[in-house]
Structure 1
Amino acid sequence: MVVGFNNTAVKLQENVEEAWGNVETSYQRRNDLIGNLVNTVKGAADFEKSTLTAVVEARAKATSMNIDPSKITPAQLAEFNKVQGGLSGALKSLLVTVERYPDLKANQSFLKLQDELASTENQILTARTRFNEGAKVYNTHIKTFPNTIFAGWFGFEDKPYFSAVEGADKPVEVKF
C-alpha cells in the first residue's frame, strides 16, 4: 500500500511538473512574440513611447521570474501570476492604442503577429488549465486518507492552483 501510494504520488507529481513546463513554454512563446510585435509597431507608427516602454518593462519582469515546479508555493504562483497579468495588461493597452493607426492595422506582418499572439494567449489558458487539472489530481491523491499520512512521511506537499489576476473580472475599457 505504501509503495503504491509513493509510486502514484511520484507519477502525479511528474505530471504536474510537466504541466508547469508547458505553462512556462507558452509564456516563453508569448515573450518571444512580444519583441517582434514591439519592433513591428515601432517601425510602422509614430507611436506613444510610454505604451511601448510599459510593454518592454513588463516583458522584462515576466522573463526574469523563475519557479522550480517541484517546490512551487502559493506565494510564488501568485507573484508569477501578478507579473504575467501585468504583461497581459500592457499588451492590451498596446493593441488598443494600435487601433488609432490605420496603416499599422493593414500591415500584414503586424496582423500575423497579432493573430499569433491571440493564439498564444489561448495556449497559455490551456496550459494553465491543464496545470490546475494535474494539481487537482495530485492534491486529491496526497490529501485523502490514509494517503495524507504517507504524504507526510515522504514529504509530498500540495501544489497551488492558478487563479485569475486581480481585476480580470472587469472588462477591458477601450477608449479612442
Structure 2
Amino acid sequence: MYILIAAALCLLAGFIWLYNLLVRQWQMVNNGWADIDVQLKRRSDLVPRLVDVVRAYASHERSLFEDIAEKRSLAEIAGEDPVRRAAAEGAFSRPVTRLLALAQAYPDLKASLNFSGLQNELVDTENQIEMARRFYNGAVRELNTTVQSFPANLAAPMIGFSPRDYFEFASGERETPHVRLPPT
C-alpha cells in the first residue's frame, strides 16, 4: 500500500516538474517572439522615414515607394505566425534594399546626414532583429526538444503544449539590406 502511494507521489511530482519545465520554455519562446516583434516594428517605423528622405532626392521612383508601402502593410498584417511573418518580412526587405541602393545614384542623398543617420539606425535594427531571432529560435529548439522527447511527448499534447515554428527566412528570400556608410 505504501509503495503504491509512494509511486503515485513520485509520478505526481514528475508530472508537476514536467509541466513547470514546459511552461518555462513556452514563456521563453513567447518572450523571444515579443523581442522579434518589437524590432520588426522598429524597422517598419524606420522605413517610411527613410522613404521620405529618399523621395526628396528621387521623386520619380514612385513604383519603388509604392512597393515598399505595400510590402510593409503585408508584413504588418502577417501576424504572430513565424512562418507567414518571415515570408512577409523577407518580401519587405527586397524593396528596402533597392531603396538603399538608390543612394549610390544620388551623391547629395548619400551625403545627407539625415539619410546616413537613418541608415545607421536601420543597420542597428537589422542586427537587433538577428539577435532576437537567434534567441527565439534557441528557445523554440529547447521547447521542441522537450515536447518531442520521452516521456514529455506523451503528456505535452494532453496538457496543451506542442512544437513551435522557427522564425527563419527561406534561402535567398530575404536579403539583409547592405548599407555602405560614408567614411567619417
Report the TM-score, using the length of structure 2 for normalisation: 0.83
Residue 170 and residue 51 in structure 1: after superposition, are their counterparts in 2 closer, same or farther (change >3 A)? closer
- Provide runs of 4+ in structure 1 moved above 6 Å: 169-172
Per the alignment, residue 32 of structure 2 pairs with 19
Question: Displacement, 1:168?
Answer: 4.4
Q: CA deviation at 1:44?
A: 3.1
**Structure 1 portions without partners, runs of 5+:** 68-75
Query: Aligned equivalents of 2:59 and 2:95: distance in 1?
Result: 18
The residue matched to 2:163 in structure 1 has which SS?
coil
Amino acid at match of 1:80: R
Q: Specify the code of the residue in structure 2 equivalent to 1:94.
A: L
Cα pair 1:41 1:47 within 8 Å, conserved: no
Number of matched pairs: 165
- TM norm structure 1: 0.87
Q: Which of 70, 75, 85 is the matching residue for 1:80? A: 85
Maintained 8 Å contact 1:62/1:84:
yes
Say if 1:171 and 1:146 are closer, same or farther in 2 by CA, change over 3 A. Answer: closer
Among candidates 118, 127, 143, match of residue 122 of structure 1:
127
Q: CA RMSD for the aligned pairs?
A: 2.0
In our comparison, the structure showing a higher alpha carbon Rg is 2
Between the aligned residues of both structures, percent identity stands at 30
Q: Which amino acid aligns with 2:162?
A: E
Gaps spanning 5+ residues in structure 2: where?
Answer: 1-13, 178-184
Among 39, 44, 49, the alignment partner of 2:52 is 39
**Does the 8 Å CA contact 1:16/1:135 hold for their aligned counterparts?**
yes
